[in-house]
């Protein structure tokens, strides 16, 4: 990934382009990927700023009315304001709408300072508003295309589950486990996971069991050799499911059978092909 350093000319990165700008003259970035910035983290950073100052300048762009709009560094700007600073060091740049979103997203992703859903929504904005591909996004944020596709899949979860993920009631791992289950039972599984305090692995197991009846409506062949589920095949199913991050089913009778790998859209199919073959499209 390029990172912010690759988006800023070397001369500016080394300090030549920085200037002090009044805190009151700066307005937030309307495309800030993070929808929530915790007050506790702001106060912690403010305490550090009082002690050491703002160590990394914010990035802003000039507005026609004489003010400046943040491009990257909103948390630092808010903390500087909370610390009582009158000015902050800033790098002034003219950027396009796409660059503004890109730089804010890269900063948050690299610092792991953004929720999975906010990250997914930012990716979707880059796709829908600017026509970027998953591969292009992956290069910009320094992740694999598969990782970008998996993050985008979180947006297909039901609103109640998305709200729970955003609020921290469940982890990203729990959310990915719920994606394995049929849509009609996800919310009930989510509620059960909250009531029972399920781990990610427990929720994965529940999602797998809940989806089993819909895997195949035809009678299940019974092998004379293996009347009970073969533990080895179950272990292989689990290994494939973990590797491919999707629902997998092995149907086997007398040593022959069918391997089912589920996908939910064409991007998901492309991700699976890339994972299996080791080659990007």
By annotation, the residues acting in catalysis are: 74
| CA distance readout (Å), 240 to 92, 220, 272 | 49, 21, 11
Backbone angles phi, psi at 162, to 5 degrees: -60, -40
Q: Which residues face 136 on adjacent strands?
A: none
Token code pair at residue 281: 């499209």
Within 10 A of 90 (CB to CB), how many other CB atoms are there? Answer: 26
Question: For the chain, what is the total number of helices (H) and then of strands (E)?
Answer: 14, 7
Q: Beta strand pairing status for 87-92 and 58-62?
A: parallel
- Compute the distance between CA of residue 279 and CA of residue 262 in angstroms, rounded to an integer: 19
**C-alpha angle 175/118/38, rounded to 5°?**
105
DSSP per-residue codes, 52-94 = H--SS-EEEEE-TTS-EEEEE-HHHHHHHHHTT-SEEEEEE--
Token code pair at residue 133: 């591909």
SS3 content of the chain, % helix, strand, coil (to 5): 55, 10, 35
Backbone angles phi, psi at 269, to 5 degrees: -60, -45
């Amino acid at each position: 990934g390029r990172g912010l350093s690759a988006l800023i000319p070397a001369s500016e990165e080394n300090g030549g382009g920085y200037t002090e700008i009044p805190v009151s003259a700066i307005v937030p970035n309307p495309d800030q990927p993070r929808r929530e910035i915790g007050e506790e983290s702001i106060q912690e950073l403010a305490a550090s700023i009082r002690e050491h100052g703002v160590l990394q300048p914010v990035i802003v762009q000039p507005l026609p009315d004489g003010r400046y709009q943040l491009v990257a560094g909103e948390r630092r700007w808010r903390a500087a304001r909370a610390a009582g600073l009158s000015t902050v060091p800033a790098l002034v740049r003219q950027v396009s709408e796409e660059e503004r979103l890109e730089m804010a997203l890269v900063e948050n992703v690299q610092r792991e300072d953004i929720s999975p859903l906010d990250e997914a929504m930012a990716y979707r904005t880059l796709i829908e508003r600017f026509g970027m591909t998953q591969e292009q996004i992956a290069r910009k944020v320094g992740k694999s295309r598969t990782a970008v596709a998996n993050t985008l899949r979180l947006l297909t979860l039901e609103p109640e589950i998305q709200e729970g993920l955003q609020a921290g009631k469940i982890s990203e791992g729990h959310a990915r486990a719920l994606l394995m289950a049929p849509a009609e039972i996800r919310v009930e599984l989510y509620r059960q996971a909250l009531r029972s305090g399920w781990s990610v692995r427990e929720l994965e197991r529940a999602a797998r069991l809940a989806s089993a009846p819909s895997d195949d409506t035809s009678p299940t062949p019974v092998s004379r050799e293996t009347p009970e589920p073969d533990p080895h095949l179950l272990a292989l199913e689990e290994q494939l499911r973990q590797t491919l991050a999707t629902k997998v089913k092995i149907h086997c009778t007398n040593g022959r059978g069918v391997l089912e790998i589920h996908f939910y859209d064409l991007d998901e199919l492309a991700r699976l092909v890339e994972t299996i073959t080791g080659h990007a499209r």
